[in-house]
Structure 1
C-alpha cells in the first residue's frame, strides 16, 4: 500500500495510485494516518468530520465512510474497530510523509554525495501542500510541521550540494526559495556561498544587503551572527572551497563511465549552467567532428548529474554515422516506451502517437534523455520530452541548426582537445613515462590530431612497448602518415587518424588482427563472444583472450552487458581491412549459420511442438532451460534482424520462420512487421510458393497485431491457397486456424467455428494431431461464447492434454484460462480459481504477459463470485495494469467490464458506470465485451431506478447478442419484459 499526504490525499495499491474522492473520506483517512497504528476514538472522528453537531445518525454515517475507506485498501482488516476506536495499520514505509522523514533524517549521517541522493529522493515525494484538499484544524499542525521539515531538508540538500562543488547548479533553485521565504536566513547564507564560489562576489554581497533590508523592515532585527560572519568572509575573500568529494555514480541506461576522462572543464561548466538558469533550457546539443569525444563528454556529464534526475536516465545510440543504418525515431521511441513500462500493442504504430505517448509518460518527471550520435534534427525531434522538468542531451557531427532555431536548444561546440588537455590526457594514461619525455608527448599529441580516440589508442601502444621511447613511436607514426591516405569523414580533415589506427593494428598478433577485422564485418551494433567465435571458425574460449587484448588496446569497448562494441571510426577501418584481406564472405556465412542455428535451438526449447516447422540447421549454441533461451534471443534480437539486411533471400525467409513465435511472445510487433515484410519480399523474389505462404502467414500475424484485420485476412487466405497448392496440409490447417481468428475478431462466430473445425479435420487427416491444440482451444472459446459450455469444457480439456504432451506452454496456458472461463460461466468459482492460478504460473514463467493479464482477470472474477471482494480487486488492478501496458483491446475491455461488475457488487454504482462507459468508448470490433458492458450498465441503471436508461442499454445489448448468436440475449430480453417503462421521478 501507498498512503500519500504530501499533496492531495491519495492511496496506491499494486503501483496504481488514485486520489481519494470526497472531502469526508479524505479527512477521515488523514486523521487515521496522523495516528497510524493507534486507536482513534469514535467521538474524535465524528467531531472532526461533522463538528460535534447532534445527529442521531452520526454513528451510521461514520460506518459508511469507514466502509468506503476500507474499499481503498489492499486488505480491509487494515482498518479495524475496537473498544478504543478505529485503528489504521500502516507501516512507516507505506506513508509518504514517514518515508520523507526517514530519508531526510538518514542524510544527516552520510557523506555529501550520498546525502544529496537521499535528500533528493525525500523531496521528490512531495506533490504540493500537505493535505492540499483537506482543510480541518486536526490536520493543520501536522501540515505545518511537514512544511517546516521540507524547508529544512532543502537547506540540508543545498548544503550537501555545495560540499560536492555544485555551486553553479544550485543558484537558480536557491534564488527561487529565497524569494519564497525571504525571512529564512539559512537560505540567504547558502545562496551567498553558491554565488561566491561561482565567482560572483558582488552578487553574493547584494544578497546580503537585500536580506538585511528585509529583516530590518519586516522584523526590526539585524541579521544573525552566522549571516554576518559569512558577509565578512565574502568581503575579504576568505570563504574556503569545499573538500573534494569522491563520486559514486551508478548508471541506469547510461553507458559505463569513461575511464580517465580529462579536461573539457569549460564545456562541462557550460552544461552545468543550463540546469540553473531561468527560464530553464532543457535541450543541449554537443556537436563536433568524429573522434573528438562528444559521447565521452556527454556520458561523463550525465554520470555527474544523474542524481539530479531521480526519475531515470534514458539512453539510445542513434547510430547516425556508423556503418549501420541510423536508428529510426520510431524504433528509438519503442525502446523508450518499453523502458517506461509499455509493451506489445500498447506501443502505438504511428510515430506521432508514439512521441505523444512518450511525452505523456515523462511529463513533469525529472528524466535525463541522452540521444547519442544523431544524424539529423528530424531523427531527434520526436524523442524530445514536452515538459521542462527533465533534460535532453544530444550528440552529433551535424550542427543541428534546426534544433537550436526551433526548439531553443543550446549548442556546445566541441573542437579537438586543447593542447594542454591533450597532453594532460596522455599524462593521465602514461603516468611517469610522460614526465620523462615531455617533448615527445607533445609531438605525439599533434601526430594524433589532438583527438581523444587516437590519443587513447596511442597511449595503449606506448604502454604495450615499454622498451621503446615515446619519441621513436611518434616518429614511426609520422612516417606512416606520409604513406597512408587520410580518413576523410564528411570532408573533415581533422579526422586524419587512419595512421594511428594502422600503427595500433600492426602491433597486433595475427589472431588478434583477424578478430579485429571481423568486428568490422559484423553487421550489428555490438557482438557477443560466441558470434565472434563463429565468424572466426574457432571455439569461444579461443577468442576470449584475443578480445580481451583488443579491449586493453582500446580498439574495442566492453559494454556493461559483456558485449563487444568498437567505435564507429574503428569499425570503418576494420571493415576496410577486412575487404582488403578478403575476410568478408566466409565469416559472414559462418555468422549467419550460427545465428540461424542458435535461434532455432532456442525456439526448440521455447516451443518444442513446432520444431518440425522450423528450418533444419546444424551447429549453434544449445540451451538447457526456457529462461536461458529467452535471454539469448533478447540479447541478440537486434543482430538477428540486422543480418537479414545483408543475407540472401533464402536466409531471410528462414529467420522469419524461426523467430515469429518469439516476437509474438515478447510483443515485439515492430520487429515482427519489419522481419516478415522482408521475408515476404524475399519469398516472392525466390518464386518459392512454400516460403511465400509462410511469409504471408507470419506477416498476417504482425498485421493483425497492428489492428488491420481485413488486410491480415487477405494474406491468410492467400497463404492457405498456396499451402493447398504445394500440398502442405499441416500448415494449411494452421492458416485455417488463423483465418478463424480473423472471423472471430469480426464477431462472425459461426464462420470462425467452421474454420476451426476445418483446421481440426485437416490435422487429423494429415496425422498432425500434436499441432491441433490452437484450433481446439479456439473452437472451445467460440463455443463458450455461444453458450455451449459442456462442449467447450471438453475441448479445452483435450487442448490441455495435447499441449502438455507436446511441450506447448502457450497452448497449455490458453487451455487453462479457457477452462477457468467455463467454470465461471457455470458458477464453479473454486474450480475456476485453481485453473486460473495454474495458468498464471505458466504465463509468468514464460513471460507471456497477455496470458498473465487474462489469468489475473479470471482470478479476480472467481474471487468476486466467492464474495472475496478485496482479493478480487487486487487481482483486477494487476490485470488492468498489464492489459493497459500490453495494449490488447479485447483483454482491456474484458478487464474493465469485470472491474465494473466488482464495483457494482460492492455498492459503488458511480464507479461501475464510469468503467462501463470506458468500455463502450473503446469498442473496436470486440462485440462480445461491448455487449457485456451494455448489459452490465443496464443492470446498474436499473438498481438506481433509472429505468429508461436501463432499458436503453439492455435493448442495445440484446441487439448485439443476437447478431452474434449468443444465448445471453434471452436473459436480457427477459429483463426487458418485466422492467418498468418510465424512470421514477427524481426525489
Structure 2
C-alpha cells in the first residue's frame, strides 16, 4: 500500500512474469497514461516508461494487451522488440448491441445492428449516440428517419456525434466547463476547473453544468471528487473553445494553461509541505504539474524559474524521479525558443546529460554534456565547466573508457583547484577514486577518497560526505577490514537519513548487506539487502538490479538456488533495461557460478564467457572474478574437456543463456 507508482509498475511486471499460470492482462485506455502527442509516459506517472521498456525488451510469461491510440514510448529509444501492434476493428456486432442496451437504447435487433455497423463498433461513438438519444428523448427509429441527423453517419462518426452534442446540446457555460477540465492532464476536482473559468457563475449553475457533462458521458468521475475527460473529448474541447478563430482559440488555450499553473502553485502553498519539510515526490506533485502547465502555456522562463527556485532537480534526483525530470527538462528544448540565457541553456543540457546517463542513454548523455561544456567554455564559466567535465568522465567510465574518464576528472580537478571550488575538487577526487578502483590501484583509490572526505567535512557537504564514506567502506571491505567498513557504512547511513536522501540510503543498506555476506553472516545480509531492495525499487531502479544480484548470491550460499535464480533473472532484466552493462556482466557471472554449482556446464560456460566479454570491454574491476569462474570450470572438467566444451558453446553463448532464462 505504501509503494510508489514506479515501484507498483515494476512489482506488477515482476508478478506477471513470475505467475505460475499464464494470463491475459488488459489495460484499457492506456493512452490516459501517455502524452497525447509523443506517446511517452506523463511526467507524474513514474515507472510507466520504464515498465514499457521492460515489456518491450524481454518476454513475459503473461500476455499484456494495451488499448491505446498512441504507440507507447518508453524511456529508451529502440524499435519494437517484444511489443507488437494490432489494429483493433472495434466491437463485434453482438458486443455493440449489448453495450447499447446497457446504455438504455431500446430498439429492435436490426436497428441496433445497423447502428453498430455504421459506427464500425467504435465503443465511444456508441456511448455518445446513446447519450444523444437520451438527452433528445429520441427513439432510434425516429433518429434514423430525421434528416437532421443524416450528416452524422459520414466520415468520423465519433467526431461527428461529439461535434453535434457540443454545438447543439451544450450551452456556453457547459462548453467553458468542458474546456476547463480539458486543460488538466490528470483527474482534477471541480474547483480546479473553476480556476480556469471566469468568476461570476453561480455555484448551483456550475454543479448543474457538471451533472450535464457527466450525464452525456463527456466527463468521467475518477473518484475522490476528481473528474477527467476522455482523450477524444479533451482534444476536441481544446480545439473548439472559440469557433472560427484559430488564433483566438490558441490564445485562450495558452491563457488557460497559465491559470492552471497558478492553481497548482496555490495548491502547493496551502495544502502541501513547505520546502524544508518536503520528503517525497508526492510533496511536489502540484509543483511538477505547474511546471508542465507553464510549458504548455509557452512560458518556459517561468517553468525554468519554478524548477530552480524549488530545487526540483536536486530533490527528485534524490527521490528517484529521473524520468519525471527528463520529461520536464525536455519540454524546455530547444532553449532558443524562449531566448534562454546561454548559461541557463548550459544548465539544461548538463542536467539532461546527467539524467540520460542515469537512465542508460549514454549517447544522448554524452551529446548533451558536451553541448553544455562548449557553452561553459565559451562563456568562461570555469566552475560549471569543471562540473560538466566530471559528468562527462562518468559517462566515459560507465561505457568502459576509464583512461578517457581519468583525463576528464583530472581536468576538472585542476580547474577546481585553480578556482578554489572545494566542492568540485572533492567531487573530482571521488571520481578519480572510482577510476583507480577499476584499474586495480587500491592504495591510490583510498588516498583520493580520504582527501575527498576531508574536504566534504571541511565545507559541511553532508551528501558528499555520505557518498565518500560509502566508497571508503567498499575499499576497506575489499581489503578485508570489514569492521571498519561497517563503521563507515553506518556513518553514511545516518547522514543519508538525516538529509532525506533515499537513493543514498538504499545504496548504503545494500553495501551493509554485502559486508555481512562476505563475513558469512547470511541472515543479516539478507535482512539488509531486503531493506535495500524495497527502497531501491522505489527510488533507484538501476540500484535495485545491483541489489537483486547481491541477494541472489546470498540465496545461492544458503542453498536456495531457485530463489537465487529468480533474483538473477530479475536483476538481468533491470540491468538491460537500464543500460547497466557492468551490472549485466556481474549478474551473468553469478548466473554462471550458479549453474556451475549445479554441474550444468554448458550454461555455466556460456554465462561466464558473456560476463567476461562484457566486463573486459568495460575495464571493470570485476572482470577478474569472471575469469576465476572460468578457471574453476576448467579445473573441474580438465583442460581437454573444457576446450571441447568451449568450442561447442562459445559461438552459441547468447542463445544458450537466453534459453536458460526461459
Q: Do Structure 1 and Structure 2 share a fold, with TM-score over 0.5?
A: yes
Of 722-731 and 698-707, the range deviating more from structure 2: 698-707
Q: How does 1:568-647 map to 2 (within 5 A)?
A: 568-572=231-235, 574-575=237-238, 578-579=241-242, 583-592=252-261, 622-623=273-274, 629-631=280-282, 644=295, 647=298
Q: For residue 65 of structure 2, what is the aligned residue in structure 1?
A: 369
Q: How does 1:944-983 map to 2 (within 5 A)?
A: 944=636
**Is the partner of 1:867 in helix, strand or coil?**
coil
Q: Which runs of 5+ in 1 are unaligned?
A: 1-14, 16-120, 127-308, 349-353, 387-391, 401-410, 428-448, 462-469, 602-617, 952-987
Write the distance in 2 (CA, Å) between the matches of 1:426 and 1:834.
76
Write the distance in 2 (CA, Å) between the matches of 1:716 and 1:375.
29
Kept in 2, the 8 Å contact 1:939–1:950? The answer is no
Kept in 1, the 8 Å contact 2:258–2:293? The answer is no
> C-alpha displacement at 1:936, in angstroms?
2.6
Kept in 1, the 8 Å contact 2:422–2:455? The answer is no
Kept in 2, the 8 Å contact 1:869–1:902? The answer is no
Kept in 1, the 8 Å contact 2:57–2:81? The answer is no
Query: Among residues 618, 639, 647, which one is paired with 1:926 in the alignment?
Result: 618
Kept in 2, the 8 Å contact 1:817–1:855? The answer is yes
Cα distance change, pair 720–839 in 1 and its aligned pair in 2 (3 A): same
Kept in 2, the 8 Å contact 1:774–1:799? The answer is no
Q: For residue 780 of structure 1, what is the aligned residue in structure 2?
A: 433
> C-alpha displacement at 1:927, in angstroms?
0.8
Query: Among residues 548, 561, 574, which one is paired with 1:885 in the alignment?
Result: 574
For the pair 1:412 / 2:92, whether they are aligned, the reply is: yes
Write the distance in 1 (CA, Å) between the matches of 2:191 and 2:429.
41
Q: For residue 344 of structure 2, what is the aligned residue in structure 1?
A: 691
Write the distance in 1 (CA, Å) between the matches of 2:87 and 2:225.
24
Write the distance in 2 (CA, Å) between the matches of 1:456 and 1:802.
70
Instruction: Kindly provide the CA deviation profile for residues 844-895 of structure 1, in whole angstroms up to 9, marking residues without a partner as x.
Output: 97564xx677556534542343133565578422685457425322234345
For the pair 1:819 / 2:508, whether they are aligned, the reply is: no
Instruction: Kindly provide the CA deviation profile for residues 760-780 of structure 1, in whole angstroms up to 9, marking residues without a partner as x.
Output: 565566676456664443233
Taking only aligned residues, the RMSD between alpha carbons, in angstroms, comes to 5.9
Cα distance change, pair 313–801 in 1 and its aligned pair in 2 (3 A): farther
Q: For residue 56 of structure 2, what is the aligned residue in structure 1?
A: 355
Query: Among residues 15, 23, 27, which one is paired with 1:314 in the alignment?
Result: 27
Kept in 1, the 8 Å contact 2:413–2:424? The answer is no
> C-alpha displacement at 1:371, in angstroms?
0.7
**Is the partner of 1:564 in helix, strand or coil?**
strand
Q: For residue 119 of structure 2, what is the aligned residue in structure 1?
A: none
Kept in 2, the 8 Å contact 1:780–1:792? The answer is yes
**Is the partner of 2:27 in helix, strand or coil?**
strand
Cα distance change, pair 751–829 in 1 and its aligned pair in 2 (3 A): same
Q: For residue 81 of structure 1, what is the aligned residue in structure 2?
A: none
> C-alpha displacement at 1:518, in angstroms?
1.7
**Is the partner of 2:583 in helix, strand or coil?**
helix
Q: For residue 453 of structure 2, what is the aligned residue in structure 1?
A: 797
> C-alpha displacement at 1:738, in angstroms?
0.8
> C-alpha displacement at 1:920, in angstroms?
1.5
**Is the partner of 1:587 in helix, strand or coil?**
helix
> C-alpha displacement at 1:630, in angstroms?
0.8
> C-alpha displacement at 1:676, in angstroms?
5.0
> C-alpha displacement at 1:829, in angstroms?
1.4
Q: How does 1:391-470 map to 2 (within 5 A)?
A: 399=89, 412-413=92-93, 421=101, 424=104, 451-453=126-128, 455-456=130-131
Write the distance in 1 (CA, Å) between the matches of 2:81 and 2:600.
41
For the pair 1:327 / 2:39, whether they are aligned, the reply is: yes
**Is the partner of 1:830 in helix, strand or coil?**
helix
Q: How does 1:85-164 map to 2 (within 5 A)?
A: none
Cα distance change, pair 420–690 in 1 and its aligned pair in 2 (3 A): closer
Q: How does 1:527-566 map to 2 (within 5 A)?
A: 527=188, 532=193, 535=196, 553=215, 554-560=217-223, 563-566=226-229
Instruction: Kindly provide the CA deviation profile for residues 502-542 of structure 1, in whole angstroms up to 9, marking residues without a partner as x.
Output: 56643x8x6x76443322344x365467864664599xxx9
Q: For residue 609 of structure 2, what is the aligned residue in structure 1?
A: 917
Cα distance change, pair 744–310 in 1 and its aligned pair in 2 (3 A): closer
> C-alpha displacement at 1:928, in angstroms?
2.0
Q: For residue 546 of structure 2, what is the aligned residue in structure 1?
A: none
For the pair 1:828 / 2:481, whether they are aligned, the reply is: yes
Cα distance change, pair 647–666 in 1 and its aligned pair in 2 (3 A): farther
**Is the partner of 1:928 in helix, strand or coil?**
coil
Q: For residue 862 of structure 1, what is the aligned residue in structure 2?
A: 515
> C-alpha displacement at 1:735, in angstroms?
0.7
Which structure has the larger Rg over C-alpha atoms? 1
Write the distance in 1 (CA, Å) between the matches of 2:294 and 2:484.
48
Kept in 2, the 8 Å contact 1:833–1:862? The answer is yes
Q: For residue 519 of structure 1, what is the aligned residue in structure 2?
A: 181
Cα distance change, pair 649–870 in 1 and its aligned pair in 2 (3 A): closer
**Is the partner of 1:559 in helix, strand or coil?**
strand
Cα distance change, pair 855–909 in 1 and its aligned pair in 2 (3 A): farther
**Is the partner of 2:612 in helix, strand or coil?**
helix
> C-alpha displacement at 1:714, in angstroms?
4.9
Write the distance in 2 (CA, Å) between the matches of 1:941 and 1:710.
37
For the pair 1:936 / 2:642, whether they are aligned, the reply is: no
**Is the partner of 1:325 in helix, strand or coil?**
coil
Cα distance change, pair 943–743 in 1 and its aligned pair in 2 (3 A): same
Cα distance change, pair 327–763 in 1 and its aligned pair in 2 (3 A): same
Cα distance change, pair 450–384 in 1 and its aligned pair in 2 (3 A): same
Write the distance in 2 (CA, Å) between the matches of 1:909 and 1:518.
63
For the pair 1:732 / 2:445, whether they are aligned, the reply is: no
**Is the partner of 2:480 in helix, strand or coil?**
coil
Write the distance in 1 (CA, Å) between the matches of 2:641 and 2:295.
57
> C-alpha displacement at 1:574, in angstroms?
3.5
> C-alpha displacement at 1:923, in angstroms?
3.7
> C-alpha displacement at 1:750, in angstroms?
5.3
Q: For residue 281 of structure 1, what is the aligned residue in structure 2?
A: none
> C-alpha displacement at 1:564, in angstroms?
2.7
**Is the partner of 1:579 in helix, strand or coil?**
coil
Write the distance in 1 (CA, Å) between the matches of 2:232 and 2:434.
56
Write the distance in 2 (CA, Å) between the matches of 1:637 and 1:125.
39
Write the distance in 2 (CA, Å) between the matches of 1:368 and 1:578.
37
Write the distance in 2 (CA, Å) between the matches of 1:453 and 1:937.
65
> C-alpha displacement at 1:819, in angstroms?
2.7
Kept in 2, the 8 Å contact 1:859–1:872? The answer is yes
